[in-house]
């Protein structure tokens, strides 16, 4: 069903002449995303990375390709249904935070201590690549992408530290090593994201497609109006996929 949906989107946005001309072809692929979401460079608030799990999350994609002239140059667009996510643990100081207390009420302020984060997003992504084709089997591409957030979570818990309410010198609420409190910023995730991607495709003589790509978000996963985390966090991911090319 996912692949049928993606194909219908490609057919809706691409003119028939692009898809079915002599120098055009379709490809279908599935793979995994591997990476994380990070501020660059690491801000002063993050004092130590205690753990990082990049996860392996699924990607399915339908692409339309077109070559020009001698076939050395071309263009590719695709519709990709993908997940991106990570799990991290860090020690921080004066890190913006909104936590849920034992009484169910929220406390906001600046956290110093340990924080665990779980992030997972489901995205509909449309990349557009300019292609260089050194041969019929090898393509190298780069270009922009736009992602639409379909579903996302960004949550976790804090422990072994203290929260200064309101300001860095506000009232102190302490947590021991065994005490923790949850937080959830899922509703504040950016709905529309932009970035750049590049990659390499290789097609075997049986039209089996092998693909590797890298993407770098230019917009953070939170909008500028989100004031709790006061630095940008950018999605940086690699993707490995296999697929099938339909056409020349």
Closest CA to 165 of 156, 174, 157: 174
Go through the domains of the chain in sequence order and give each one's CATH number. 2-143+152-247 (2.40.160.20)
Instruction: Give the bridge partners for 113, in sequence order.
Output: 92
The model's pTM is 0.85
| pLDDT for 176 | 82
Report H helices in the chain.
2-13, 16-20
pLDDT one-digit tens code per residue, 45-70: 899 999 999 989 999 999 999 888 77
**Cα–chain-centroid distance for residue 121?**
7
């Amino acid at each position: 069903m996912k692949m049928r949906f993606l194909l219908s989107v490609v057919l809706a946005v691409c003119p028939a002449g692009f898809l079915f001309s002599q120098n055009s072809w379709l490809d279908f692929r599935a793979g995994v995303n591997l990476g994380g979401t990070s501020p660059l460079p690491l801000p002063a608030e993050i004092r130590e990375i205690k753990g990082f799990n990049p996860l392996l999350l699924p990607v399915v994609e339908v692409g339309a390709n077109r070559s020009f002239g001698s076939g050395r140059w071309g263009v590719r667009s695709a519709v990709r249904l993908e997940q991106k996510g990570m799990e991290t643990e860090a020690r921080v100081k004066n890190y913006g935070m909104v936590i849920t207390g034992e009484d169910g009420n929220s406390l906001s302020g600046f956290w110093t201590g340990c924080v665990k984060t779980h992030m997972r997003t489901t995205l509909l992504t449309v990349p557009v690549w300019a292609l260089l084709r050194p041969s019929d089997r090898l393509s190298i591409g780069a270009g922009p992408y736009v992602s639409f957030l379909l579903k996302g979570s960004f949550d976790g818990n804090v422990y072994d530290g203290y929260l200064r309410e309101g300001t860095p010198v506000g009232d102190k609420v302490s947590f021991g090593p065994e005490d923790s409190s949850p937080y959830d910023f899922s509703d504040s995730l950016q709905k529309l994201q932009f970035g750049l991607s590049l990659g390499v495709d290789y097609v075997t003589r049986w039209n089996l497609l092998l693909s590797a790509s890298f993407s770098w978000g230019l917009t953070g996963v939170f909008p500028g109006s989100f004031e709790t985390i006061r630095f940008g966090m950018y999605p940086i991911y690699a993707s490995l996929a296999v697929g099938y090319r339909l056409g020349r």
